[in-house]
Amino acid sequence: MALRADLTHVRVMSDPSNMTPELFPDPLRRQPDWLSPDLPDTLAERIHPLNHKPLNDAARYVLCWLQQALRADENPLIELALRLGNRLDLPVLVYHGISQSYPHASDRLHWMLLGGSREVAQGCAARGIRMISHVVRPGHIHRGLVYELAQDAALVICEDHPTFVASWQSRNFAEGTDRAVLGVDAARLVPYRRLAAGLKTTPAFRKASGSLRDRYLLGVEPVEPNRPPYDGPLPFAPDNMIAASDAQLKALIADCDIDHSLPIATAHPPSRETALRRVHDFCAQQLARYKWTRNNPAALGAGSELSPYLHFGMIAPWEVAQAVHSADIHAAARWNYLDELLTWREWFHYQALHMPAFELFDGLPERPRQSLLDHAGDVRETVYSLDDLIHGRTDDETWNAAQRQWLVSGYMHNNLRMYWGKRVIGWTPDPVTAWNVACYINDRLSLDGRDPATYGNMRWCFGAAKPAYREQPVYGWVAPKSDRALRKRDGVAAWLERWAGADHPQLSVPHDWPDAPRPGLDAS
C-alpha cells in the first residue's frame, strides 16, 4: 500500500541557510573526506560516522546492516548505500541477522523480526537489491558474521540508535572492524544529532525540533541501483526469507533456543502493509476525535497502535506525519497526535542520546532518584512476587487488566502504562528493584519495549516529570497516580471486566528479581 501523501499545502524548507547555525551545524563538517559531497542535504544530515577508518579498495559490495529499520522503502540506510554503491560502481548487499541470545528473545519478538526480515527481502528483490538473512539456531550458529561480511565490503552502513541492542552492537562493531562504518538515523523525523545538545525541557525541544520538521517531512528520495544484485561468494548459506510462509517462519522460531512461553501477539502482524493500512484507517476514521479519546483505553481511536511498527522500523515517522498532515480535518485536531509522535517520542530519543544511563535507575534525575532511595526502607503495603506481577495477580483490577492485555496482545495503552508503572514502585521491595522489574516486564512483553520512548515513559513514572505536591511514604516526592478518572470513562468498566479476567499465557519466570538492562550481545 503506497502512502505518499499530497503535501502541496505543507511548507517544506529546502534551504539550509534558513537554519540557525548553532542549532543546525554543517552536516558534513565532521564527515569523512571520501563521503560523497553530492548527497542530498536531508540524507547527509542523517549520517553519523561511527569510526574514521578508510574505505576498502578491494571491495565486492557496500554492506547495509539492518537491525531495527526493517523496511525496504523509505529507508535512509538503503538509499545511502545505493548512492555510495553507485558512486563506487558496487552493488549493495543488505544483511539482517536474528540472534537467539538477545535479551528477552521470545516467540513474540522473533515473529516480528522474522516477519520484518521477510518483507525487507521481498521489497529489496523488487528493487533489484540482494538481501540476505541469518536466523541463529542450534546447528546454524555463525558467530561474528557481520565482521566476516565486512571483509568484502567497501564500508558498512548501520543504524544510529541510542539504546539497547542496536546501539550496543553498532558501537562494538565500529570499534572492532577494519572497515569504515556510518550510522544513519532512520527512526526519527528530525535527525536527533542535528539538534543542539543541552535542551533541558519538553517546550525547548518542541521549539527546536518543530522549526526543522518541514525540512524532513518528504522523507528520502529513492535511488535505482546501477549494478545488478550481488551474486558473489558469501561466508554462510543465507536463510531464504523471500519465499518463507508463515508456517515456515513459525517452524524456524520453534527451532530457536529462545523463550517459547511467550507466544506470538496476533493482534499486530509483522507487516509493513499492516502498518501502512493502520495509518490510513486511523487518519480517515479516528484522528478527528483522538484529542477526546486518547486517554480512554476502551475507546475506538484511543491510539493508532503504531508504536510496535515504529519500534521495528516497519514504517517511517515521516510517513505517519505525511498522512496526518493530509487528513481532511481541522488543523487543531492533528496537533495532539503529532505532538505525541514528533515531540514526546523524539524527545525521549534525544534524551537517550545525551544520557548514557537512560535505561538505568541511576540515569533518573537526581531529585526523584534520591527521594525514592530515601524512602527505600519504608514499609510497603504489599510486595508481590515477580510471578504474580507478570501474570496480573494483584488486588488492583485496573492494573491486572492492563497487565493481562499486555501478556496477550504485546501492547499497552500509553495512559495505562503511566498508571501501571507508578503502582510497581509500591509493590516491590525497593525503588531499584521496582525500576528493574518495570523495565524487565516492559522489555519482555511489549512489542514496543527496549525503546527510548518506553524507557522515557518509565522515567516519567519514576518522577522525571514535576514532583509531587507533598512527600509521601514509599514514593517520597515522586507523585503516585490514581485510576479514579480512568474508571469513570465510557466503556472502561466493561473493558476492565473483560481484561482483568482474560485468559493469558503462563510464562516461565525467574526466581530472583531481574537485573537492570545491560549490554550482552555482539554483532552477528
Mean pLDDT in the chain?
A: 90
Q: Place 349 in a pLDDT band, splitting at 50, 70 and 90.
A: very high
Domain boundary among 354, 373, 403: 354
- Residue 449 shares a structural domain with residue 314: no
Answer whether residue 510 is part of any domain: no
- Residue 89 shares a structural domain with residue 231: yes
What is the average per-residue pLDDT within 381-406?
Answer: 96
Question: What is the domain count for the chain?
Answer: 2
H helix count then E strand count, the chain: 22, 6
Identity of the amino acid at 154:
A
What is the average per-residue pLDDT within 301-322?
Answer: 93
Answer whether residue 516 is part of any domain: no
Q: Note the pLDDT of residue 31.
A: 79
- Residue 343 shares a structural domain with residue 379: no
pTM > 0.85: yes or no: yes
**Cα–Cα distances in Å, from 465 out to 44, 202, 470?**
34, 10, 15
- Residue 267 shares a structural domain with residue 236: yes
- Residue 282 shares a structural domain with residue 384: no
- Residue 343 shares a structural domain with residue 368: no
Residues 6+ apart with CB under 8 A from 38: none
Q: Which CATH number characterizes residue 450's domain?
A: 1.10.579.10
Answer whether residue 259 is part of any domain: yes
Answer whether residue 524 is part of any domain: no
- Residue 401 shares a structural domain with residue 281: no
Answer whether residue 15 is part of any domain: yes
Chain segment 80-99, per-residue pLDDT in tens: 999 999 999 999 999 999 99
Answer whether residue 138 is part of any domain: yes
For residue 389, give its domain range.
362-500
Placement of cell 555510495 in the chain = 84
Chain segment 161-218, per-residue pLDDT in tens: 998 888 888 999 999 999 999 999 999 999 999 999 999 999 999 999 999 999 999 9
Give the pairing type, strands 130-135 and 61-66. Answer: unpaired
Cell of 330: 481541522
Q: Place 524 in a pLDDT band, splitting at 50, 70 and 90.
A: low
Q: What is the distance between the alpha carbons of residues 192 and 382, in angstroms, rounded to a whole number?
A: 42
Question: 234, 82, 85: which is closest to 146 by C-alpha?
Answer: 234
- Residue 152 shares a structural domain with residue 61: yes
Chain-centre distance for alpha carbon 148? 27
- Which helix (H) or strand (E) is 93 found in, with range? strand 92-98
Q: Note the pLDDT of residue 30.
A: 65
Q: Is 29 exposed, middle or buried (0-12, 13-18, 19+ CB in 10 A)?
A: exposed
- Residue 254 shares a structural domain with residue 292: yes
| Beta carbons of 84 and 112 less than 8 angstroms apart | no
Chain segment 43-78, per-residue pLDDT in tens: 999 999 999 999 999 999 999 999 999 999 999 999
- Residue 405 shares a structural domain with residue 271: no
- Residue 100 shares a structural domain with residue 189: yes
Q: Nearest 5°: phi and psi at 287?
A: -60, -40
